[in-house]
Structure 1
């Protein structure tokens, strides 16, 4: 990956709806070579897909919470059940297996505190193997981005 590929990635992270013509102009290429590079970045997996960033408040998912989850024990059965359930839950935006006192960190987006309570009691609270949870509710988002630093 050279500096032009990195420039393409930076531009697409800023605006993935940019036309190939405009992208080519911004990175200093003609349209055909630019499109070939974009296709190569897609084929290599450097570009995994394209998305629209939707405002959570506008669609009834403006309440955010971070939930740490500890399993009763590090067993394959508990982990598999937990992970397969989380993969099916639309309100979970991110789930990471983490180090430290807890096993998983979830980023959850729902309509309001009532919907969050329902998720905690009706979903997480009913999963076998969940020993306990700890929740952090942000009161102000200082920074929120999906763009990765491209060196």
Structure 2
């Protein structure tokens, strides 16, 4: 989990380059039992649940103003999507504002201090609006949708 989190904080855009050129060369002392890149890629699906549990333990408090958004998490180039076996049956096709991608979608709600309140990872094709009731269930009393300028009360 640590390696994945630090990759996203690094300036690398490609995980393979990060793993082989940075971790394997300069961080052997921090990770003495570092496995090969291919083996690490095979182990990535196994860390998804522990990572979700960790993030659930780090949630912030509701402060009054919250923001909800989603972002795409592509797992491979679209040309290689049919050959992808790492997240077989879990990922899916989705369309962002830029292009089509194959992977997941991260939906999250943060408070005005930037603390994570709730989140959910879904296949790429999941519609944002369908997930709002699930994300806000038992956490919020009312929701204000700025696009429609409507106020919805929770049941």
State the TM-score, normalizing by the size of structure 1.
Answer: 0.30
| Larger proportion of strand | 2
Higher RCO, Cα 8 Å, sep 6+: 1
State the TM-score, normalizing by the size of structure 2.
Answer: 0.30
| Larger proportion of helix | 1
